[in-house]
Structure 1
Amino acid sequence: MSSLLEILSPMPIYSFLIIYYTNSFLRSGFMQKKEMVPQAFIRFFHAFPSGESFTLYLDEKPLAQDLLFEDFTHYFSLEPGTHTLELRHTHTHEMITTKKISVFNQKIYTCLIAPASFKLLTPICFFLEDIRRPLPDGHLVIRLGHFAATISRLELSLEEEKTLFRHISFGELSSYTAFPPGNYTLKLQEAATHTVLFTQSIKLKPYRFYSVYAVGQGTKDYPYLAILPLDGPSYL
């Protein structure tokens, strides 16, 4: 059985040096190289009010498949550079539209499938950046994107008499606005008439990036909705 002296004796100096240099290697060059691998992120959102299923192809390879209305994907990693996005019908593989996109290192994007205009119900792809920015202490940031058919301009409020975004045009995505966390009533209304289109109770947490996407068509099958996903800068 080993004596107490043997148990407490220091490790040989060469073992210590191996451990030291291995740890230094992991902390410096190797780990930094891993962190510096060029990459960007993209997710997809089906915001076109119909029962059609869509599949997105990136550089002729299927990436997001069989998306239905209101479906969000997770973020996919992709290399910076120029890519070709193709929107196709899932079942017939028929091409609907194609779009060249420029992707930059460490940027985060959302590709949103929505009507081409508030009057024209033809699906196209909107390529949007989920912008990283500093957050005020204890606050969150929120923005509004208008992709609801048949409505020209929208407004959004989060509490009584507090309109955060005014006169947001179709296809427009506002800048992020800082806001304190808490429980709120989200109210979406038409800018011209102040007609309330959608209300919902929500809880907003600090140090988060949120987008409110106004979608729908104002019909029984596709009423106006406000979809509130957590944006990538919150966790990527």
Structure 2
Amino acid sequence: MDANNKQTYLRFFHGFPSNVAVDLYLGDRKIASGLTFGGFTPYTAVDPGRYMLVMYPAGERNAPLIKNDVVVPSGEIYTVIIGDRQGLPALAPVEDPRFHLPEDRVALRFGNMAPGMEPVNALLRLGEGEFEDLFPDVEYGQVTEYAIIEPGRYTMDVQLTNGEKRVLWVPNINLRQGRYYSIYMIGQGKEGETEFPLIAVIPLDGNSYL
């Protein structure tokens, strides 16, 4: 294959607070079946080019939830988040970039994908050490750059940026050296909405092994 036509790897993440499972089609190819809230597809190799990406409720082909014309670039890795835009599902592609990572370090980033959530600070603590404000002022829909940190077992404390309230506490995050991880906070971020409480989803990113 020509160097300018290398396949790109795509995975899809259902981060839209809903009980509706979905099927995804990229052109004529079904790339997800029955994907539920909080779930990921495996990475799929896709030739670069222009495609119609359509998302339906699982098992249906009549009324699409999303229908987008998309351009897939060459030779990259993406996580495509099914997020919330004004109460409707929408796609947010996030690159999983390849870059040199020292063998004795970990790459970690944080995404605030909880609709209605105010900006947050995501503080991280290694073992019993002090908390460090590693990802400050992360707005809804934002995925930070990777931070390069030591491997080990971490605790994450997510607070409103004004410091008045903790919104999520995530203990026992085991991060292994030489790997790339994301922590996505999903659920309903508005005060009083409880059907989908906030949770953290922590996938191993494809730049670890693709």
Pairwise same-fold verdict (TM > 0.5): yes
Report matched runs for 1:94-113 at 5 Å.
94-113=63-82
Consecutive unaligned residues in structure 2, runs of 5 or more: none
Consecutive unaligned residues in structure 1, runs of 5 or more: 1-32
Higher relative contact order (Cα pairs below 8 Å, separated by 6+ residues): 2
CA-to-aligned-CA distance 1:23-70 (integer Å, 9 cap, x gap) = xxxxxxxxxx79998211001111111101111110143211111111
The amino acid across from 1:84 in the alignment is M
Q: Which has the larger radius of gyration?
A: 1
**Aligned residue in 2 for 1:90:** 58
CA-to-aligned-CA distance 1:128-181 (integer Å, 9 cap, x gap) = 111111113410111111110221212211113301111111111111110111
**Aligned residue in 2 for 1:168:** 138
The amino acid across from 2:175 in the alignment is L
Matched, 1:77 2:48: no
| Percentage identity across paired residues of the two chains | 31
Matched, 1:149 2:115: yes
| Alpha-carbon distance in structure 1 between the residues aligned to 2:151 and 2:164 | 26
SS at match of 1:62: strand
| Alpha-carbon distance in structure 2 between the residues aligned to 1:104 and 1:97 | 20
Report if aligned partners of 1:41, 1:108 keep a CA contact under 8 Å in 2. yes
TM-score, normalised to structure 1, is 0.79
Report if aligned partners of 1:60, 1:86 keep a CA contact under 8 Å in 2. no
Return the offset for 1:234.
Answer: 0.3
Report if aligned partners of 2:27, 2:52 keep a CA contact under 8 Å in 1. yes
| Alpha-carbon distance in structure 2 between the residues aligned to 1:225 and 1:86 | 27
CA-to-aligned-CA distance 1:102-151 (integer Å, 9 cap, x gap) = 322221011111111xxx32111111111111113410111111110221
- How much is the aligned-residue C-alpha RMSD, in angstroms? 2.1
Give the structure with the larger strand fraction: 2
Report if aligned partners of 2:185, 2:198 keep a CA contact under 8 Å in 1. yes
| Alpha-carbon distance in structure 2 between the residues aligned to 1:166 and 1:84 | 36
Report if aligned partners of 1:188, 1:226 keep a CA contact under 8 Å in 2. no
**Aligned residue in 2 for 1:132:** 98
Report if aligned partners of 2:184, 2:202 keep a CA contact under 8 Å in 1. yes
Number of aligned residues: 201
Report if aligned partners of 2:5, 2:48 keep a CA contact under 8 Å in 1. no
